[in-house]
Amino acid sequence: MSFVHALVAEGATILAEHKAGKRDFSQATHAILSKIPPNNSKLTYVWENYLFHYVSEDGFVYLVMTEEVAGRRLPFGFLAELQQKFLSTPSSSASGGSSSHSMQASFGPTIATLMHLYNTNPPVDELTRAQNELNHVKDIMVQNVEQILSRGERIELLVDKTDVMAGQATMFRRGARTVRHQMWWKNTKILILSFFVALILLYLLAAHFCGATLGHCPIP
């Protein structure tokens, strides 16, 4: 609960107010109201761990007390909306010289509703909205950059794999030529060996009939 106490006053006379907590800040509130100059002004006072933000315009004071975590933009946005709602109330134009809390019944619930809204579901101001959109765009850009980098890594990996495959293909071709040459030489040696074996067998067969010198073979 960042918004603690809010009020509308005419000078130092409180016309309507609402307190969100149980602690009584009346003494601090009256002390702040007594310090506000009669001219139009906008300022923030610090008291303990709380901030008193006010807008003074045309004799009326719109004041809200918040915790420090609320900052300044949101409370002054609250005060602008509070001022707009108050000025749109018919009884505000006839409040000159009114007594203390003379508009409590008519405008107190409006202050309570507005404080509840800002405490539970505060509107996003334009600067915060722009910052959120900027952060969203930045996140998208970061994701795109990460995707590009990741795609680049995949491309490099693919190139590396292609180089490895090309190297393996070259080694395979060299190995195939070596194996083919070895097989050709092996087949050649088998053919030569088979030729000499055939000659030896032929000689042995001829020697069996014609003698070792082949001199006793009959001549046709």
**Percent of the chain clearing pLDDT 90 (strictly above):** 37
Tell whether 65 is covered by a domain.
Answer: yes
Round to whole Å and give the CA distance between 5 and 25. Answer: 8
Tens-digit pLDDT profile for residues 121-145: 888 655 455 555 566 666 666 666 6
In a domain, 34, yes or no: yes
- Number of domains into which the chain is organized: 1
- Give me the mean pLDDT over the 92-120 stretch: 86
Q: How far apart are CA 111 and CA 107, in angstroms?
A: 7
State the average pLDDT for the chain: 81
- From residue 121, alpha-carbon distances to 3, 43, 60, 218 in Å are 12, 25, 27, 129
Check pLDDT > 60 for residue 199: yes
Secondary structure of residue 71 in the 3-state scheme: coil
Query: Any idea what the CATH number is for the domain that residue 57 is in?
Result: 3.30.450.50
Give me the pLDDT at residue 207, please.
73
Looking at residue 103, its pLDDT comes to 92
Query: Is it the case that residue 24 has pLDDT exceeding 70?
Result: yes
pTM attached to this predicted model: 0.57
In a domain, 168, yes or no: no
Residue 93 domain-assigned (yes or no): yes
Judge whether 97 and 33 are in contact, CB under 8 Å: no
* pLDDT at residue 40 is higher than 70: yes
In a domain, 25, yes or no: yes
* Alpha carbon distance 44, 47 (integer Å): 10
Running DSSP on this structure, what letter comes out for residue 12? Answer: T
* Residue 200, both tokens: 């030896």
pLDDT at 76 over 90: yes
Task: Give the pLDDT mean for 4-26.
Answer: 90
Q: How far is CA 122 from CA 70, 103, 145, 211, 216, in A?
A: 10, 25, 34, 126, 130
Residue 75, domain member (yes or no)? yes
Strand order in 50-57's β-sheet?
A: 13-19, 3-10, 60-67, 50-57, 41-47
220: in domain: no
Residue numbers of the domain that contains 80 = 3-123
> Could you tell me whether strands 3-10 and 60-67 are parallel, antiparallel, or unpaired per DSSP bridges?
antiparallel
Residues 67-76 have a mean pLDDT of 90
Predicted pLDDT of residue 172: 72
> Does any domain span residue 73?
yes
